Structure 1
């Protein structure tokens, strides 16, 4: 009876942890993903040109990834609360200051360093590691899926909100309103403030010094294979997010179809993230990752061979949405399996940086290939080859079969 009472007493805390982590990711990721919506107004106001403004946004892609291993290492040592507090505040500050910037350097500071860096500090590596420390081990797979879905929901929610605020307040008022809305995530820093050790991972290896932990990881073949696969994931995701509207135009379809396709990706990404969070506790995570990458490559191949109609494009967007960020829960899970949760935030942050390098190349190469050939076909071919390589590279990873959880009496 006492055991049952303790379980019931801990249940609200478990859900509060998930709500805090997923809500924070929704607000920071959603705000960050709406920045492209303001690219044209910023260009009109500053006259800098899209190339100069895009440089600030591209720098933000890399900086978001680079901050995560360092933020993760700090969170591993002192707990996630202080890191999240600083990260959320920087996202709000950078977003609020952006309308005042009239030079490329100023935009790099506001968008590329403050806002993107803050989003990295309050990003998936810190949030998922904090959640993994504060909930029972058997629920961690589902938890990473829920947190990941929170980012997708924020992306889906904040874009129409930004459009509505722009229509009523103008683009400057809209950006500054979004900056204030991000501050709603500050209470989550208190909920997720737990330190590097909790009762749920007493059997996990103790946290190592950051340099020692990273050196150990870089000598681990499975970790390197996992990073290579996540590099491919970043290439896929950034290419689609950046160039899908251009793909729609190249297919001769109306421009609104591109917006619908991006919305479909966001919606189905929520489904894929939750489904993968459920699956990681039941099947080998390396096999799930191979399946996801193989499905992406097959979907791209079918899309290339199909007539380019609105229905085909939306179905393609739905399939890609299911696989869009569903790689995150098993990737986090494998890092935790390899090294425990003591250094999880920093080590997953390093994998996320590999993801962002791939993302930078996917976004940049898409534009370069289209300028050179007038088509995206060669990027799709590269996409298929990379997907096949990622599907194969996960197979040699040594992973034990998931333990079957006994049902509680």
Structure 2
């Protein structure tokens, strides 16, 4: 390859990494703010807390259902086009309940449209594109850089939304989030707008997705990885949706919930980079097992300690460092096992388990709150689920020589 071609490939890669970080920041940052909206929407617009909690649960389930489909489309047609479509879905998802607030529009907008929005525009497709563009020996590290950059949105969107709620109300904050989602559309043009040239079998595409899912899940170690990912969604969806409310119910200032979610986003930046760097140096499944253990120990400590401002900030910092570290490690584990030709679709298959966990974590938390007025009974469940995930990942063996699982699309 000529020197000019090498420089051109590096430029394309770094432009894609920056754009992937920016789109992920917007897509993941928007959903990170949902927990801040629960109580204000109830007070200002009469949205029942149980309806909002179930809307976020539906959001997680829709995200999980949409991720394999959007991943298969991106593998075949390029990530950028699908991500731009995600910006449109997000615009509708946030705009609908802002303009016509009701239990039903919250369910449809946040539950369905924004779920498809993050499935198309979130980290899954962005990191799959980076995985295809990056050289194999640096793949995990570059995925980690893009994932770390994407964490900036989680840190920035939370205080912006908190301020917007205070200044313009919950509906005004949703309008701001909808306007932010529009920026995803032009940014997506810089991320694999057309499919990258590939060696080996063609991407499976939508028609080959069912067969690809069956064949991948028949692999014992991929099934263990998928089972462990359930815990990630279960724990994170509960905290994203209910942590600010839990903090308020414990008698702490409402602003502490905003601070906690911001700290999670800030500490996720070095954590995501570190986990991506680590994925090139150890077996990713081993790293995932340790992440789930650290999370679970932090949750156990937070649950048994007396509520306090500094205890909450420490908990948020620890959780933030390992918040999305599972994403580059899981992507790297899949790429090592099956290659990158169907990385978007295979990540989507694995991620569906994550979002079933997210649906149950957010939804059962909302139901528990409606029945008991407290989240106390939920923390032991979080601990058991996390410990199980650690064991499942540590049981996974290193991949042998495997070919891509793609079927003809």
- Residue 316 to residue 107, structure 1, CA distance change in 2 (3 Å): closer
Task: Quickly say closer, same or farther: Cα 1:160–1:374, change in 2 above 3 A.
Answer: closer
Larger Rg: 1
* Equivalent in the alignment of 1:393: 392
Q: Is the 8 A contact 1:65 1:349 kept in 2?
A: yes
Q: Which residue of 2 aligns with 1:259?
A: 258
Change in Cα spacing, 1:240 to 1:49, as seen in structure 2 (3 Å) is: closer
Offset from partner CA, 1:87-129 (integer Å, 9 cap, x none): 1122123323332224433333322222321221112221111
Are 1:156 and 1:266, in contact at CA under 8 Å, matched by a contact in 2? Answer: yes
1:19 to 2:18 alignment: yes
* 1:68 and 1:121 in contact (8 A); partners too: yes
TM-score by length of 1: 0.87
- 1:49 aligns to what? 48
Q: Show the counterpart of 1:207.
A: 203
Give the deviation of 1:354 after TM superposition: 1.1
Give the root-mean-square deviation of aligned CA atoms.
2.7
- Counterpart of 1:404 in structure 2 is none
Where does residue 349 of structure 1 map in the other structure? 348
Please report the TM-score for the alignment, with normalisation by the length of structure 2. 0.87
Q: Which moved more, 1:233-242 or 1:162-171?
A: 162-171
* Aligned counterparts of 1:44 and 1:301: Cα–Cα separation in 2: 32
Of stretches 337-346 and 102-111 in structure 1, the one that deviates more from structure 2 is 102-111
Contact 1:269 1:325 in 2 (8 A): yes
**1:234-253 correspondence to structure 2 within 5 Å:** 234-249=233-248, 251-253=250-252
Looking at structure 2, the residues matched to 170 and 372 of structure 1 have their Cα atoms a distance apart, in angstroms, of 28
- What whole-Å deviation, never above 9, does each CA across 1:278-321 have from its counterpart, x for those lacking one? 11111111110111112222333344554544323322221111
Offset, 1:189 = 2.5
Unaligned 5+ segments in structure 2 are: 401-409
Q: CA deviation at 1:40?
A: 4.6
Aligned to 1:405: none
Provide the residue aligned with 2:379 in structure 1.
380
Q: Is the 8 A contact 1:197 1:342 kept in 2?
A: no
Rounded Cα–Cα distance in structure 1 between residues aligned with 2:282 and 2:51:
46
The Cα shift of 1:146 comes to: 2.7
Q: Is the 8 A contact 1:196 1:207 kept in 2?
A: no
Question: Which ranges in structure 1 are unaligned for 5 or more consecutive residues?
Answer: 402-409
Change (3 A) 1:365 1:107: closer
- When residues 239 and 109 of structure 1 are mapped into structure 2, their CA distance, relative to the original with a 3 A threshold, is closer
Alignment of 1:168-183 (within 5 A): 171-183=170-182
The match for 1:187 is 186
How far residue 367 of structure 1 moved from its aligned partner, in angstroms, is 4.3
Mapped to 1, the partners of 2:99 and 2:249 lie a distance apart of 35
| Residue matched to 1:407 | none
**Distance of aligned partners of 1:178 and 1:391 in 2 relative to their CA distance in 1, 3 Å threshold:** closer
The alpha-carbon deviation at position 363 of structure 1 amounts to: 2.2
Q: In the superposition, relative to structure 1, how do residues 337 and 127 fare at CA in structure 2: closer, same or farther (>3 Å)?
A: same
Give the 3-state SS of the residue equivalent to 1:394 in structure 2. helix
**Once the 2 structures are TM-superposed, how far is the Cα of residue 374 of structure 1 from its aligned partner?**
6.4
